[in-house]
Chain A
Amino acid sequence: MMQQQDDDDEYGGGGGDDEDALHLGAKRCAACRYLRRRCTHDCVLAPFFPASRPHRYACVHRVFGASNVARLLESLPMAERGEAANTMAREAYWRVQDPVYGVTGIISRLQDEIRAVQLELARTHAQITIVASSGATQRAPPPQPPHPPPPPQLVRAGSHPAVAMRGQEQDELPRPPNPADEFLNLDGF
């Protein structure tokens, strides 16, 4: 996790307060401090990378680079620059945390979670159908060989109802496909 402290030495950024004093007392933004340059009044990065959050810009600089960040922000309308800076900071942070997969690792995990919940939902809907049909005749759900028919009371005391029924339909529903590189499908979102 990134430490929230002004540790310029760790990232090789800017000088101390003396350099700020040389610039007529004007406080430099995190970017200009990192780049050891004068922060002008029209600095494109200053509104989005305040001096109070040096690590945020350090991540962005490490992943995207100063010129790329500035160029991208300058290409956007003023109203959208803040959000763009935030998303770039998040992507940069995730890339620093996971140098191999970055934010795509999170996307892949979310897609796996969606598949798991969809499978559980399909199983639960199948259970509803079975329970509803068996409830109409006031008898237990149909027996599933080789297992004996379950007792009429499907919910055990102290347990979640889904746990008691999860193992019954495990072998009846087909597992959804799990393409290995689905997260690379840019048209999926």
Chain B
Amino acid sequence: MAGSGTPCASCKLLRRRCTPECVFAPYFPAEDARRFATVHRVFGASNVSRMLQEVAPAHRADAVSSLVYEASARVRDPVYGCVAAISSLQQQVSQLQMQLALAHAEILICVQQPQQHGHPPAAAALQEQQQQHVLQNAHHLQDSMWT
């Protein structure tokens, strides 16, 4: 229960008396009713209560934040929820790794070109092998981007 005796947002929504032992009160103050309304709509008050009680008190604030985030995402996108964000981020990671592999290959090209005049053939051949290896990895990464 809040210090002034005002019921927390959850007890206000559930229309019950907010006790000092209320598990929701520290994380759902009365000033922000929308947060609890969102998690209640997606997960249900009993599930949220149980999930909070299963978590150590030191981690409950983070748990509430993540639950609010997931519930908000599910309300905005009832089909994909948070999974849409994960798919988008995985795409970004794959694209950036592809760009990085290509940049590494470009460095090999820049290094190889000015060194073809005075270096022994073995060193140039080794550099070319490594360049081909990097390019193969880049193409393999592109092919496996959607797997």
Interface residues of chain A, those whose CB is within 8 Å of chain B, are 62-65, 67-68, 72, 75-76, 80, 83-84, 87-88, 90-91, 95, 99-107, 110-111, 113-114, 117-118, 120-121, 124-125, 127-128, 131-132, 134-136, 138, 152-155, 157, 160-162, 165, 181, 183-184, 186, 188-189
- How far is the CB of A138 from the nearest CB of chain B, in Å? 5
A63 contacts B78, C-beta separation under 8 Å: no
Residues of chain B in range 97-143 having any CB-CB distance to chain A below 8 Å: 97, 99-100, 103-104, 106-108, 110-111, 113-115, 117, 119, 123, 126-127, 130, 134
Q: B111, A120: Cβ atoms under 8 Å?
A: no
Q: Which of B2-10, B16-24, B88-96 contacts A (4 or more CB under 8 A)?
A: B88-96
11 A–B contacts from the bound complex (CB under 8 Å): A65-B46, A72-B42, A76-B79, A91-B82, A100-B63, A104-B65, A114-B89, A124-B104, A135-B114, A136-B114, A186-B69
Most buried by A among B65, B72, B117: B65
New A-B contacts (11) at CB < 8 Å, excluding given A87-B79, A107-B89: A68-B41, A83-B80, A99-B54, A107-B86, A111-B89, A114-B96, A117-B100, A127-B107, A135-B110, A135-B111, A135-B113
Q: Across the interface, do A121 and B90 meet the contact criterion of CB distance under 8 Å?
A: no
Closest to B92 in A: A114
Using a CB–CB cutoff of 8 Å, the interface residues on chain B facing chain A are 41-44, 46-47, 51, 54-55, 59, 62-63, 65-67, 69-70, 72-74, 76, 78-86, 88-90, 92-93, 96-97, 99-100, 103-104, 106-108, 110-111, 113-115, 117, 119, 123, 126-127, 130, 134
The minimal Cβ–Cβ distance linking A1 to chain B, given in whole angstroms, is: 19
Judge whether A155 and B86 touch: CB under 8 Å.
no
A137 to B115, CA, bound (A): 11
Q: For residue A81, give the distance in angstroms from its CB to the closest CB of chain B.
A: 9
Write out the residue numbers on chain B whose beta carbons fall within 8 Å of the beta carbon of A67: 44
Do the beta carbons of A102 and B66 come within 8 Å of each other?
A: yes
Contacts of A117 in B (CB 8 A): 93, 96-97, 100
State whether A64 and B100 are in contact (beta carbons under 8 Å apart), knowing that A165-B107, A186-B73 are contacts in the complex.
no
**Docked complex Cα distance between A101 and B65 (Å):** 8
In the assembled complex, the CB of B8 is this many whole angstroms from the nearest CB of chain A, namely 21
Contact (A103, B134) CB under 8 Å given A154-B111, A161-B108: no
Q: Which residue of A lies closest to B103 (CB)?
A: A124
Instruction: State how many angstroms separate the Cβ of B124 from the closest Cβ of chain A.
Output: 10
Q: Using CB atoms, name the residue of chain A closest to B137.
A: A160
